[in-house]
Structures are given as structure tokens and as C-alpha cells.
Amino acid sequence: MKIANSFTALVLGIGGVAAALVFNGQVRAGEAAVVIAAPVVDVPAGSAKTETAVFAGGCFWGVQGVFQHVRGVTNAVSGYAGGKAATAHYELVGSGATGHAEAVQVTYDPTQISYGKLLQIFFSVAHDPTQLNRQGPDSGTQYRSAIFPATPTQRDVAEKYITQLNASRAFRSKLATTLEADTGFFPAEGYHQNYLTLHPNEPYIAINDLPKVENLKRVIPAVYRPDPVLVRKGI
């Protein structure tokens, strides 16, 4: 997930949602967002103040960074989902043989933001859901696009939204996103938490992840928060 190099400057696209940067003297385009409709079916509003959702969309640094800038999100933790607790370690997950995906557990206030809106952000700006077992420069099943619904209602909403997006041809290709059983979420090592915020000048972050946050601000400005909600120390 790391690129041992340096960049010069971030360049914002004029009138668009993508971003680019000058990298070793060449302009490199960041990941473009796809403007999509909100889900027709969403989780009904309730009285609960806290809910969780787990999303996997490539390297967790960028996915975490996006959701940390979303209003209504109270925590976003990088971690592993899809495998067993014994193999929920970065070096093992990186082998692609554990069943885990790099994932982010999003804790949110459903009275401020709905599960459907989180799905819209996930599909639109957090990653490219049409890529199978990869995201950008990273490849392997640990970088797959996946949703781990916490409840049958979440599963139903996510399933219907995938069908909606495929039917509307919102993307050039069908979504590769899978709906998987919630077998447990395991927080990643402490040095992975808040990585985008702590390392904005690292080339990997600048090239692959900062454009995602900029896309969130441009494409869905109503939910954008300038100050990220960070994971507390000691997780």
C-alpha cells in the first residue's frame, strides 16, 4: 500500500469531481467519483442513537479517511472482516489467504445520517465498486469490495441498492461488491488508525486517498465535515 516516492502539489480539477497531483514532474489523476442516485429503499428511521456498518473497499486508509469526514459518523475504525480472529493481523491478511478484507467499521447516529446515505458515499466516492479483488495499485482478495451487513434490514437495503445501481447503469460495469456474513470485525493495529490524517504527504495517500476526500466534499457537500472524527488512542 505504500509508494516510496514524493509528490509536489495537489491540483484540483476545475468544474469536476476528480483531483490530480504533480508526481515526479508528471500530473497524475486521482480516482474520479461517480455521481449516483440515493437508494430508493433505506433503513427506516428509529429511535436508536448509535448503529454500525462495515464496508470493505480496498486499502482501509482511504475508506476510513472518507467516513471520518462524514457528518453523523461518530467513529470509523480500520480493521479486518471476513476471516477469523486468529488471522486478523496485517502481515497475515496481506497474504490474501485469510478470508479477511481490509475493512472499516463505521459507527454513526442514524438520526443524522442513514445507512442508505452511507452506502451512497461508499459506492460514489470511497472506492470503485466495479473492480474485482483490487483497488487502484492494490490487488488481492483482501482488497475486495464487500459489505458486511449487521442486520437483515441492512442486507436488504444494500442488496436492493446494488440492484438499483446495476439496473440504472450508474457505472460502466456491473458492481463487483459482495454481501458477506458478519462474522466479526477486528480492529487493525494502532499505526493504521487515522492514517490519512497523520500522513497526508505520503505519496500513496496523496495519490490514492486525498482525492477521495476532495470528491466527498465536491459530490456530496451536505454530509462533508472539514474536521475528521478520529479514532482515540489505545484502540
Residue 151 CA, distance from chain mean position: 20
Instruction: Assess whether 59 carries a catalytic annotation.
Output: yes
Inter-residue contact 142 to 100 (CB < 8 Å): yes
Radius of gyration of the chain (CA): 17
Inter-residue contact 180 to 150 (CB < 8 Å): no
Q: Which amino acid is at 72?
A: G
Closest among 190, 182, 3, 1 to 89, alpha carbons compared: 190
C-alpha span between 82 and 226 (Å, rounded): 31
Pick the catalytic residue from 20, 33, 59, 88: 59
Closest among 170, 121, 191, 119 to 149, alpha carbons compared: 119
Place of cell 515526479: 24
C-alpha span between 147 and 39 (Å, rounded): 15
DSSP 130: T
Inter-residue contact 110 to 53 (CB < 8 Å): no
Return the active site residues: 59
